[in-house]
Amino acid sequence: MAKTFELKINESKTISGLTVTNKGGGHEILTEGGDLAFADIELKALNKKETIAAYSSGQKLWNGYLIIFEEVGWDGEFVKFNVKKVGEPKINENQALDMVEEYAKAELKFSQKDMSGIQTSLSDMGGYYSVSIFKSSDNQQEPVVSLKVDKFTGKILRGK
């Protein structure tokens, strides 16, 4: 199990060559109601430096590290996270889309005609791509399948 680290505002921690600093944060008012706390996190490794916004339950793939944020306190007063050194991804977005289309043909028995009427949606989720296939039906979009594709192994993690 990965060790969870906690940083208060202006604290730094170096883990496996990556320095993480909590620069404080704020909160966003959500259009659907409620608030979402965030922390501005500075990442440094080798000659690279970047500041990102961290949210509870978020991930960031950066410079060969996967940073997994577990919890962010109000206005960034603290951030809990863990870090995995993962290297660089082995597959890109186009390869992930191709894999999911092949899965649809092989496992879901999509015909060439079925494939011509689909749309795909891809989101970069840090350590994996989330890919959904939609089929147009009576001008409504209904998801046919949603999959996660691991960036580092190229394996499909979940199908439904």
Neighbours of 20 (CB within 10 A): 22
Please tell me the pTM assigned to this model. Answer: 0.69
| Digitized pLDDT (tens) for each residue of the chain, 160 residues in all | 578 999 999 999 999 999 999 999 998 888 887 888 999 999 999 889 999 999 998 899 899 899 999 999 999 999 999 999 888 889 999 999 899 888 888 887 878 877 777 788 888 888 889 888 877 665 556 667 788 999 988 898 865 4
Q: Are residues 98 and 139 in the same domain?
A: yes
Q: Residue 38 belongs to what domain range?
A: 5-85
End position of a domain, from candidates 69, 85, 101 = 85
Look up residue 98 and give its two tokens.
């191709």
Looking at the fold, whether 109 and 71 belong to one and the same domain comes out as no
The pLDDT assigned to 137 comes to 62
Structural domains of the chain, count: 2
Give CA separation, 21 vs 16, 43, 52, 144, in Å.
14, 7, 10, 41
Residue 146: give its domain's CATH number. Answer: 3.10.20
User: Do 18 and 67 share a domain, yes or no?
Assistant: yes
Tell me, yes or no, whether 116 and 140 share the same domain: yes
pLDDT (0 to 100) of residue 143: 65
Do 11 and 79 reside in the same domain of the chain? yes
**Residue 129, Cβ density class (10 Å: 0-12 exposed, 13-18 middle, ≥19 buried):** buried
Answer with the one of 66, 85, 104 that is the final residue of a domain: 85
Residues 81, 117 within the same domain? no
